[in-house]
Amino acid sequence: MASTIKPADKRIPAPLQPVRGTHDLLPAEAARHRAVVESAREVAQRYGYREMATPIFEFSDVFRRSLGDTSDVVTKEMYSFTDKGGEEITLRPEGTAGVARAVVSNGLSQELPVKFFYAGPMFRYERPQKGRLRQFHQIGIELIGVAQPLADVEVIACGAAILRELGVLDRTVLEINTLGDPESRQAYRRVLVDYLEAYRERLSEDSRARLERNPLRILDSKDEGDRRIVAEAPLYSDHLTSAARDFFTAVTRGLDALGIGYVLNPRLVRGLDYYGHTAFEFTAEELGAQKTIMAGGRYDGLVAEMGGPPTPGIGWAGGIERIAMLIGDPPPPPRPIAVVPVGAAAEQTALAVADRLRRAGFAVELGYSGNVGKRLKRANKLNARAAVLLGEDELAKGAATLRDLDSGVQEEAPLSSLEERLSRFR
RNA sequence: GCGGGCGUAGCUCAAUUGGUUAGAGCACCGGGUUGUGGUCCCGGGGGUUGUGGGUUCAAGUCCCAUCGCUCGCCCCA
């Protein structure tokens, strides 16, 4: 009876739930994340990108200045707080602003171009959904210091290569558009607003609000009525400066040359203010509403906005959770060797043998308690490939019994030859 | 932030129009086997039905609130 003490409270109190929109990454899921990050890192390296990391929080100003104060990300989704020193701090909602800040902070403008790869958590206070979390993770690359359209092509090609490496490229569509240069954008914005004003009363409520804040976003509205109005709207392509048009043509020709398929989407708009010229996203229809798995564009004004010299830049970010939903199970870890002491006398030897084998590169599981039967049972559950049994008989001879757990065949081997004898089980 | 759907054991699911002690498979633990795993057989633990109120003689089932997930909008990776 004394052994049936129950924990005082088996229930999980509400506060022990993870915070809304956050998630524990248990081993199976962590393995998928790791597969995404490792493939991306490896491929990005082939394109010359070196990994770097910025802090996950910055002065709030870093994001306010870079993302623009009309974006939802800045106006309602930032995790901001005042720290004990009175500083206004924000958990990063995206990666590019921090990288641009780091370029300025570290004086990297002296060694352009720089090419960075990064991976890590981002934070946005949004309503959670499949593929949309409050803490989520991104991979990304940034190419800073190259103004030529060749950079845009290479950056997109690198993204495509990563998706190909992960086996998901053929389930995605690359959409691409140009947001033009500032001159084109201002001109078009005026023309577009003039056109839309005439239909103001018929626009959706959302779009009426966008009319002041970010009229280009109306082009991307999903509202049926909006879409009818937008269908007749003047086209941005008719209002691009020739320089902006030539730039975009060079980008698409580069993609053509590489055989990278894409769909021109004149309605594709970026939410963050720092984008201009090339904008693109890879989407996977099967993911539903949150189907963009990788997106980015050119941000020639960003570094200057951070207080650095005028510096062109382009990059993208990919949602690790979203990409992870598309990939298959990564290969399982190598099967371990189980070291099983028979009787208490053998435990020290077992510990030493396990350590020796691990140094030799084997994955080794050491049962922590129980008789032989229990330990083998556990070894089986761990998918062990073989067991090393150490009992009185064996110890007396300086040997161990090796059991092949797949075939059940066992043999005796001198302790000194264990590594060699076990090598076929690696 | 807006609108809809769903929450029963660790997992996947049952439970008649509201009606006995909320069941099953898998998983877990123990025994059959204290120097031999998987298969098999036997047994066991585990649920205040997400949480809190309400209606009712009676609530897993109906109502309200709340939390979480989910679908769409919004936003975006």
A348 located within any domain: yes
Regarding whether A165 and A93 lie in a shared domain, the answer is yes
Under 8 Å CB-to-CB from A401, ≥6 apart: which residues? A388, A389, A390, A391, A394, A410, A411, A412, A413
The residue that minimises its CA distance to C1' of B69 is A129
Confidence of residue A412 (pLDDT cuts 50, 70, 90): very high
A233 located within any domain: no
A49 located within any domain: yes
Nearest nucleic acid nucleotide to A72, CA to C1' distance:
B75
CATH code for position A260: 3.30.930.10
A361 located within any domain: yes
Kindly state the average pLDDT of the residues A379-388.
93
Instruction: Indicate the residue among A324, A356, A374 that finishes a domain.
Output: A324
Query: ipTM score of the complex?
Result: 0.88
Instruction: Give the torsion through C-alpha atoms of A169, A175, A180, A185, to 10 deg.
Output: -140
Regarding whether A351 and A314 lie in a shared domain, the answer is no
Nearest nucleic acid nucleotide to A294, CA to C1' distance:
B77
Answer for A20: CB within 7 Å of strand B: yes
Regarding whether A56 and A177 lie in a shared domain, the answer is yes
A222 located within any domain: no
Task: Please state the domain count of chain A.
Answer: 2
How far, in Å, is the CA of A128 from the C1' of nucleotide B13? 26
Percent of chain A whose pLDDT exceeds 70: 96
How far, in Å, is the CA of A336 from the C1' of nucleotide B59? 51
pLDDT in tens, A50-75: 999 999 999 999 998 888 777 777 77
Kindly state the average pLDDT of the residues A138-153.
97
Residues 201-260 of A, Cβ under 7 A from nucleic strand B: 206, 210, 217, 220-223
> Of A161-175, A185-199, A351-365, which range is least confident?
A185-199
A13 located within any domain: no
Regarding whether A344 and A287 lie in a shared domain, the answer is no
Question: Does residue A344 carry a pLDDT above 90?
Answer: no
Q: Which domain holds residue A36?
A: 27-181+241-324
Regarding whether A346 and A306 lie in a shared domain, the answer is no
pLDDT at A271 (0 to 100)? 66
A153 located within any domain: yes
Regarding whether A345 and A269 lie in a shared domain, the answer is no
Instruction: Indicate the residue among A262, A291, A324 that finishes a domain.
Output: A324
Query: What is the secondary structure of A113-174 as a DSSP string?
Result: -EEEEEEEEEE-----BTTB-SEEEEEEEEEES--SHHHHHHHHHHHHHHHHHTT-GGG-EE
Instruction: Give the torsion through C-alpha atoms of A16, A17, A18, A23, to 10 deg.
Output: 130
CATH code for position A349: 3.40.50.800
Regarding whether A412 and A270 lie in a shared domain, the answer is no
Answer for A283: CB within 7 Å of strand B: no
pLDDT in tens, A122-132: 999 999 988 99
Regarding whether A279 and A131 lie in a shared domain, the answer is yes
Regarding whether A131 and A108 lie in a shared domain, the answer is yes
Regarding whether A341 and A297 lie in a shared domain, the answer is no
pLDDT at A201 (0 to 100)? 86
> Of A19-28, A147-156, A168-177, which range is least confident?
A19-28
Regarding whether A52 and A167 lie in a shared domain, the answer is yes
Answer for A131: CB within 7 Å of strand B: yes
Nearest nucleic acid nucleotide to A394, CA to C1' distance:
B35
pLDDT mean across residues, chain A: 90
Answer for A46: CB within 7 Å of strand B: no
pLDDT in tens, A387-403: 999 999 999 999 999 99
A225 located within any domain: no
Instruction: Indicate the residue among A264, A295, A324 that finishes a domain.
Output: A324
Report how far apart, in Å, the C-alpha atoms of A175 and of each of A84, A187, A199, A416 are.
Answer: 45, 24, 28, 62
Q: pTM to 2 decimals?
A: 0.91
How far, in Å, is the CA of A8 from the C1' of nucleotide B24? 29
Answer for A70: CB within 7 Å of strand B: no
The nucleotides of chain B lying under 7 Å from a protein CB are 1-2, 28, 30-31, 33-38, 46-48, 50-51, 67-77
pLDDT in tens, A207-245: 888 888 788 888 888 888 888 898 888 988 888 999 999
Nearest nucleic acid nucleotide to A400, CA to C1' distance:
B35
Regarding whether A279 and A171 lie in a shared domain, the answer is yes
